[in-house]
Amino acid sequence: ATKIAEFTDDGYYQIIDHDKTVAFLPMEFRTQGLPQMEIKAHWTPPEVYEPELPELADLTQTALDLLSRPNVQSFNWVSTRYDHEVRGGSFLKPLAGPGKGKNNAIAYRPVQTEKEIAIESSGSNPWQGDIDSYHQGRNGVVDAIGRTVAAGGNLNQITFNGNLTCPKLEKDEYIAAQVERLIKGASDAELEFLTPRTSGKDSTSLERKIRNSITGEVETVKAKPELMMSSLCVMPDESTITSTDFKFAGDLIYMVGDTRDELGASEYYLMKGETGANVPKSDSNELKPRYQTFVDTVKSGVVHSAQYLEKGGLWAGLANSAIGGQLGANISLDNIDENLGRADKLLFSQSTGRMLVTIHPSNKEAFENMMGDTYARQIGVVTEEQDVKVLYKRNAVIETVVDTMKFMNKGQIKV
């Protein structure tokens, strides 16, 4: 061992090299020596519009194509490449059911000798920032909470980690304003839901120069500003844990939460080359009691499966539950049409705070009584045959089979 330093009480940090002082700084310099950076931010609402897409009578191919999108497709190829079964303590795995659908969250026992369960999930909506990053931030929090609640978590036991990523803020006043609104939206939602952020990090230099292979010119590529909200919920035991896969043929399928004309930055619009204007807006005064009512209902034991609806909307959630359970479904959209008037909007809207839930027919009255005034509408039934049929105004708008859905939903690395 070689002595390289000693503590002193003079309040200075001194470095000596060959008997020559090369640094002599007050200790305060470590925390106060760097001037506070001031970044200019200027927000101008972008010019956005709702696209006028043709209303198709048959949405089957559109629905199948949507299942192939990177943010909707299965992450089986990721989850099977690492050991998510360390010590065999998981209760909810990344993949659900015999068909390997996606779960809302993962749940595991951190300490094998204890009963407590940890539920982890996340919320992330980077494309919504192209319309309004304030709602992007709010929805990230709301989605993470919703996924946790759907997995059997307690609304009052959730904390957050925030991971901010963005390009260099000092170079662009608009991006700086986006980030400011993004953080404000997330913080407001966390305060309203009483879900504190206990940790986080930031990466604020996500940009690089590349040479355009066609023009030969050097261009700057920038990441979209994003705040990945990762949630942690600690539960006393595993009794409320709920997965996304359909469990039994004959189960009734319910939609919890109303569907609005909120397709701005949705996977459906993006697939069509559009952004839209109607970004989802989350009202905590509406969603908090909805979430709490569902938490209480899950505790009663009547819920067989619960799928939180986000990217890809009702259709993506329905497909995932059917794929996971290797069961079919007959669905009617008429009972949830709140004057939207179009099947594609009902299927692909990404309104927040919604869940696709299954229960046994014998629990129909009990479930509806427990949900009370909370929006909960029966929209279909799980079937033994692996056919998925969606009706709107008595016409079939989607007709397909689970194997085809699973094939289209198969994830892969794209280079």
* Residues 127-185: tens digit of each pLDDT: 999 999 999 999 999 999 999 999 999 999 999 999 999 999 998 999 999 999 999 99
Nearest residue to 321 (alpha-carbon basis) of 379, 247, 255: 247
Q: Which CATH number fits domain 60-409: 3.30.830.10, 3.40.720.10, 3.40.50.1860, 3.90.650.10?
A: 3.90.650.10
Facing residues of 208 across strands? 221
Q: Return the residue matching tokens 């303590």.
A: 89
Amino acid at position 44, single letter: T
Alpha-carbon gap, residue 166 to 266, rounded angstroms: 21
Helix (H) or strand (E) holding 20: strand 20-26
C-alpha dihedral sign at 136, 374, 322, 333: negative
pLDDT band, very low/low/confident/very high, at 1 (cuts 50, 70, 90): confident
Relative to beta strand 158-165, strand 395-401 is: unpaired
pLDDT at 86: 63
Amino acid symbol at 53: L
Name the 3-class secondary structure at 180. helix
* Segment holding 319, helix H or strand E: helix 313-325
pLDDT > 80? residue 198 = yes
Reported as type and span, the H/E element at residue 220 is strand 218-222
Residue 410's pLDDT is 87
Cα first-last separation, the chain: 49
3-state helix, strand, coil in the chain (%, to 5): 30, 25, 40
Mean pLDDT of 27-41: 84
Burial of 197 (0-12, 13-18, 19+ CB in 10 A): middle
How far apart, in whole angstroms, are the C-alpha atoms of residue 380 and residue 290? 21
What pLDDT score does 415 carry? 45
Residue extents of the structural domains in the chain? 60-409
Secondary structure letter of residue 19 according to DSSP: T
Q: Does the pLDDT of residue 338 top 90, yes or no? A: no
pLDDT at 356 over 90: yes
83 pLDDT more than 70:
no
Helices (H), 33-86: 60-67, 76-79
